[in-house]
Homo-oligomer: A and B are copies of this chain.
Amino acid sequence: MKRRLDRTAPRRLVDRALRRCLPRPGSVPPTVRRAMLYSLFPGGKRLRPILAIAACRALGGRLRNVLPSACAIEMIHTYSLIHDDLPALDDDDLRRGRATSHRVFGEAMAILAGDALLTHAFEVVATHPRGGGLDFRKVRATALLARAAGVTGMIGGQVMDLEAEGRPYSYRTLARIHRGKTAALISASVEMGGIMAGARPATLGALRRYGENVGLAFQIIDDILDREGSSARLGKTAGKDLRARKATFPALLGIPASRRRAEAAVREAIAALRPLGVRARPLADLARFILERIN
């Protein structure tokens, strides 16, 4: 993969755009802005914005149209990490290789910084890119983001996850949890790229199928890494799913079967791209990249 793509270039692009999207210093209380920045930078893989950008470009859309909503998705992802790590939820001290937000800024500020990132994401989607002509896309982007992040998506998944802890669960429940907790926002990232490129419903459907499968594969791999990896390598506390008796694929199916399930999901993701032709190749590469994390 390394010979094909400079993986740091899209990340740098996202980071620059994220900085531009944030409220200016002086316009808001400094502490909360510092807490927002602390969790946003240095970020993780920036997978979600990179997927949004790749999808938009694959459809011939303009980078400047998709960048703000790509950033908004990263803000929502980041807010969800801050709130997830809170003592009342996963109670975690380590995230992206550093102390979690509430360990640095206190619980009150971490809650507010999370709220701030979530709220700001919607401001970004509604106001960028500036200028008219994109209202139809902005409205669809807002609705997509809210649905993916809300009770029908990410928050719904988190609630199910919370309620499944320490209880017996079926494959179906597990799949629903992961679809909500992770796949919803990842799938929305891809669809967002399509929306901002002005794609037609059939194309959006293909992107959605691709995104759901990529999301599923990503979560399975994440669960495997949580079992096999070290905290230092992951940048977050390893092995905590097991300790918290979380519903995961490795716990239900074992690691080899989980790995096969992830590989199958990546194949389905790539198959979903077929109607899009060769222009979707960067998206196929990204799907394969997900698997590489454990190879």
Question: Interface with B: A4-12, A13-21, A147-155, A268-276, which one?
Answer: A147-155
| Bound complex: CA A86 to CA B122 (Å) | 24
Number of copies: 2
Contact present for B120 and A162 (CB under 8 Å) = no
- Docked complex Cα distance between A162 and B108 (Å): 9
Bitwise, A78-119 to B at CB < 8 A (1) or not (0) is 000001001011000000000000000011110110111011
Contact B32 A151 (CB under 8 A): yes
A116 interface neighbour in B111, B114, B122, B150, Cβ under 8 Å: B150
Also in contact, A146 and B163, with CB within 8 A (given A89-B111, A156-B29): no
Interface of A is mostly: helix
Which B residues are CB-close (under 8 A) to A142? 122-123, 125-126, 138-139, 142
Q: Does A44 contact B (CB under 8 A)?
A: no
Residues of A at the B interface (CB closer than 8 Å) are: 23, 27-29, 31-33, 36, 83, 86, 88-89, 106-109, 111-112, 114-116, 118-120, 122-123, 125-127, 135-136, 138-140, 142-143, 145-147, 149-152, 155-156, 158-160, 162-163
Q: Other than the known A23-B150, A114-B115, what 14 A-B pairs have Cβ atoms closer than 8 Å?
A: A29-B151, A31-B159, A36-B151, A88-B106, A108-B162, A112-B155, A112-B162, A115-B155, A120-B150, A123-B143, A125-B142, A135-B136, A135-B138, A138-B139
Q: Which 5 A-B pairs have the closest CB atoms?
A: A123-B146, A88-B107, A126-B142, A126-B143, A119-B150
